[in-house]
Amino acid sequence: MQMKNVLGVINLVNDKPFLKELTKHRCLASVPFAGRYRLIDFTLSNFIHSEITDVVVFTKAKHRSIMDHLGSGREWDLDRRNGGLHILPPVSPDKKVKGDLQQFHEHIQVFKQTKADLVVISPGHHVGKIDYSEAVDAHRKKQADITILYKDYEGEPVEKPIYHQCRMLRDGSLLDIDLFTAPLPGAHVCLETYILDKALFIKLIERCVEQEEYDFLKDVVKANQHKLNILGYAFTGHLPFIHSNESYYKSNMDFLNPEIIHDYFYKQGEIYTKVKHEAPATYTATSNVSNSLVANGCEIEGTVENSVLFRGVKVHKGAVVKNSIIMQRGEIGVDVEIDGIIADKHVKLINEQKNTEAGKIHVIEKAAIR
Amino acid sequence: MSKKWLAMLLAGGQGTRLGQLTNALAKPAVPFGGKYRIIDFTLSNCTHSGIDTVGVLTQYQPHLLNDYVGNGKAWDLDRNIGGVSVLPPYQAKDGGHWFEGTADAVYQNIRFIDQHDPEYVLVISGDHIYKMDYTKLLDAHTQKHADATIAVIKVPWEEASRFGIMNVDQRGKITEFKEKPDVPESNLASMGVYLFNWKLLKRYLEEDAVNELSSHDFGKDIIPRMLGDNKHLYTYAFDGYWKDVGTIRSLWEANMDLLHKTDGFTLDDPDWRIYAGNANNPPQYISPWAKIERSLINEGTMIFGMVEGSVVSYNVSIGKGSLIRNSVIMPNVSIGNNVRIENAIIAPHSVIADCSVIGTENQSKEITLYGEQQLLLSKLENTLP
């Protein structure tokens, strides 16, 4: 294994605010997930378990949340003398970023200086356990120029054309990429995760920017599909497609399954996140919790069913929380009943009944901290 | 650069009265409160009191403790100047030997303390559960121009003969110190928290070291000698929760105290968090069959059974149909289906088979400690973060 020579790139330049309220003030990769994580934790933890210890994160806008979360990278063991974590925002924040290639180009020295000879690029919001060392092995063995990770689409059909589809030849090489499509189940959805040689990467960035082309997928991958040896790598593990409040909700609820919890968190390689040192959760004589994920610092005096409670959530006496996701420091007041709610951080629901129609998810925006 | 003060944390205790729990662990490393180890409380106290230099004196079964404390990062004690230093017994040119008492442990590390050139040295012990702002102790000490100040807590009179008892005058000046007196004249018990002027303490440690009759103990030797020399020793009365968790029963009680918030003692004060070394665990999963009441449940648990009045640590699963009542489940424990556990402490790494019955209904009679010794020893390293 030569994973020491791999640079991990998290590309947040193409960030998509798919989740409306939840992505209003933060990028998709920074959205809270499964009781105590942020989406980006999964990619960073996958990197570290794949022995990728040299990681750069390209951010475009809304980066306060992600910067605060990542810090020095020490929670992911990325506070290193050599390599480690580097966050790279746009060089001129007042200038419009024309595409990810422009920002890669602005920081081209980073690629030139790293000892790595291979680059793994990820969009940073995939919730999956991807073993990059396996994909890198396949890339090297098959002497591919570029390897693209894809996954066959699962779930409700997408209404808007937001996914790129890979059309593959029988030998596993790429025939074409269809940009911005609404995939049907089984379609090879491009995970915007790529592996390529660093020297080639630098050459392609420089050439594209010279010709005023700024989109990695369109101008590096699609434009070169006949000139380069581009191979597909099918990821077959669990990986929810998150592109709407409904799919985000469902992918959280997937984790109310002991097998999924076990596969993600207890089997080979835990998922790291920023540790908050909350006390264990408190249950009182009136608490009644079932089929739920509960994080530390919660105080539960009421009823909680089929829900996800993030750190420090308070559920007061007589309150009923059903089929809901309550983020950090949320508070559900005495006798308040809610069903089908996603409440962002610091939301307090006191003296009000929040009931929504069956099957409809209602999102409550982040409240200002007192 | 000289420091105002630093702390010497005594963490070498064997804790023989904790039975199997300390077969392979020093007492300060014993798990507590679902996610902590006992030493987390004193280390967190240091951090919150602004003490950034802490020497942790280890001796008995130090491996886990050494690894756990590490560079102090969990307690924000990974500082450029100072920070945490683990200080085991060592060899020097003229030989070396085990720490022979609490005072000897500090004596042997005089060089460590002198490197930092502090004005005051706080001596604390890593086996008590309490939250204390040591700056208040320091304020009292400097206001009274004391030579040494000893933190005391009022204990019930009927228990006073189990403690080191201070007899004081109206101003809180110590007139007499009696270790476990048969007929106590006061109920002010020493908490094992001492603040000394370093120059004075150093002199007494050096004199004590050459005294062959001394047992080299702060309580038995240093304090009585200072009193005998008419030094100004004062008490500082602490009125919060404090518990010595030296026995199975007191360890169990201290865990239960968390559920009752005894004397207002809680773990969730945002201004006085208790930091712990292994804090990355997935959220707890509470299944549709689970029922939980009056309990503290840590992250990293999967609960399919009933839990009442208990404290449950990380990496624990509790099977369907099982009942856990008034018990403490330590980390890395797997409990099968239809198990009944009452008034018990389950040691780390225990595997409880289906349909087992552990403990008794009557908690005033006995608290059961359950642990498979071999398992405990062989899997020790897995408890590290």
- Our CA angle for B190, B196, B198, nearest 5°, is 155
Q: Residues of chain B whose pLDDT is less than 70?
A: 1, 15, 372-385
Cα–chain-centroid distance for residue A278?
24
- For A298, residues 6+ apart whose C-beta sits below 8 A from its C-beta are A281, A282, A309, A311, A312, A313, A314, A315
User: pLDDT class for A352, splitting at 50, 70, 90?
Assistant: low
CA A107, CA A87: separation in Å to the nearest integer?
A: 11
**Predicted local distance difference test score (pLDDT) of residue A83:** 87
- Our CA angle for A262, A264, A266, nearest 5°, is 50
- Mark out the alpha helices in A36-131 (DSSP H runs): 39-49, 64-70, 100-106, 108-113
Q: Which residues of B touch A285 (CB under 8 A)?
A: 293-294
pLDDT tens for A165-217 read 999 999 989 999 999 999 999 999 999 999 999 999 999 999 999 999 999 99
Radius of gyration of chain A (CA): 21
Q: Under an 8 A CB cutoff, do B280 and A75 touch? A: yes
**Predicted local distance difference test score (pLDDT) of residue B24:** 75
Q: Are A152 and A188 in contact, with CB atoms under 8 Å apart?
A: yes
**Predicted local distance difference test score (pLDDT) of residue B384:** 38
Q: Which residues of B touch A279 (CB under 8 A)?
A: 33, 35, 266-268, 273-274, 296
Residue of A nearest to B276 (CA): A277
CA B54, CA B4: separation in Å to the nearest integer?
A: 13
**Predicted local distance difference test score (pLDDT) of residue B377:** 37
Q: Under an 8 A CB cutoff, do A291 and B287 touch? A: yes
How does A351-362 read in b/e, with b if 16+ C-beta sit within 10 Å?
A: eeebeeeeeebb
For chain A, give the mean pLDDT: 92
Q: How many CA atoms lie within 13 A of B246 on its CB side?
A: 10
Q: Are A182 and A165 in contact, with CB atoms under 8 Å apart?
A: no
CA B174, CA B164: separation in Å to the nearest integer?
A: 12
**pLDDT surpasses 70 at A2:** no
Q: Under an 8 A CB cutoff, do A280 and B282 touch? A: no
Q: Under an 8 A CB cutoff, do A296 and B267 touch? A: no
**pLDDT surpasses 70 at A357:** no
**Predicted local distance difference test score (pLDDT) of residue A62:** 80
ipTM of the complex: 0.90
Strand, helix or coil at B277? coil
CA B98, CA A337: separation in Å to the nearest integer?
A: 62
Q: Which residues of A touch B307 (CB under 8 A)?
A: 283
**pLDDT surpasses 90 at A366:** no
What is the identity of the amino acid at A151?
K
Within a 10 A sphere around the Cβ of B351, how many other Cβ atoms?
13
**Predicted local distance difference test score (pLDDT) of residue A369:** 61
**pLDDT surpasses 80 at A100:** yes
DSSP code for B272:
S
**Predicted local distance difference test score (pLDDT) of residue B100:** 84
Q: Under an 8 A CB cutoff, do A271 and B274 touch? A: no
**Predicted local distance difference test score (pLDDT) of residue B301:** 97
Residue from the list B273, B299, B302 with its beta carbon closest to the beta carbon of A258:
B302
pLDDT tens for A108-124 read 999 999 989 999 999 99
pLDDT tens for A210-247 read 999 999 999 999 999 889 999 999 999 999 999 999 99
Crossing angle between the packed helical segments B62-69 and B39-48, to the nearest 10 degrees? 30
pLDDT tens for B258-273 read 999 888 899 989 899 9
- What percent of chain A stands above pLDDT 70? 96
Q: Which residues of A touch B293 (CB under 8 A)?
A: 283-285, 287
CA A188, CA B224: separation in Å to the nearest integer?
A: 80
Tokens of B2: 């000289």
Question: What burial class does residue B346 get, using C-beta atoms within 10 Å of its C-beta: 0-12 exposed, 13-18 middle, 19+ buried?
Answer: buried
How does A123-155 read in b/e, with b if 16+ C-beta sit within 10 Å?
A: bbbbbbbbbbbebbeebeeeebbbbbbbbebee
Residue of B nearest to A311 (CA): B283
pLDDT tens for A270-316 read 999 998 889 999 999 999 999 999 999 999 999 999 999 999 999 99
Within a 10 A sphere around the Cβ of A241, how many other Cβ atoms?
22
Tokens of A251: 């992918």
Q: Under an 8 A CB cutoff, do B282 and A265 touch? A: yes
